[in-house]
Amino acid sequence: MSDDTQGAKDPGLAEGERDIESWKERGVALRAFFYIFGTHLFAGFVWLLFYLGQHANK
């Protein structure tokens, strides 16, 4: 009784299937980290543009 929705720690999964699941989990975590980091980087850049625009000599 092997269900794909049970995760990588399911004792019913074969060793190779557990490795694939752990790679998938790592990939999702890495992708989420880069999306969050990229969003914050973009927000910081926009904030910098507003800050510089506010303090520009007009």
> How many CB atoms are closer than 10 A to CB 18?
15
Residue 58: strand, helix, or coil: coil
4 is a domain residue: no
**pLDDT, tens digit, for every residue of 1-43?**
455 555 545 566 677 777 888 888 999 999 999 999 999 999 9
- Residue 31's pLDDT is what? 96
Range of the domain at 49: 14-54
pLDDT at 43: 98
| pLDDT at residue 47 in the model | 98
Q: Give the tokens for residue 48.
A: 């910098």
Does residue 3 form part of some domain? no
**Does some domain include residue 5?**
no
- Evaluate whether residue 30 is within a structural domain: yes
In a domain? residue 36: yes
8 within domain boundaries: no
**Residue 9 in domain:** no
Total domains, the chain: 1
pLDDT of residue 54: 94
User: What was the pLDDT predicted at 4?
Assistant: 54
Alpha-carbon dihedral angle through residues 11, 9, 3, 1, given to the nearest 10 degrees: 10
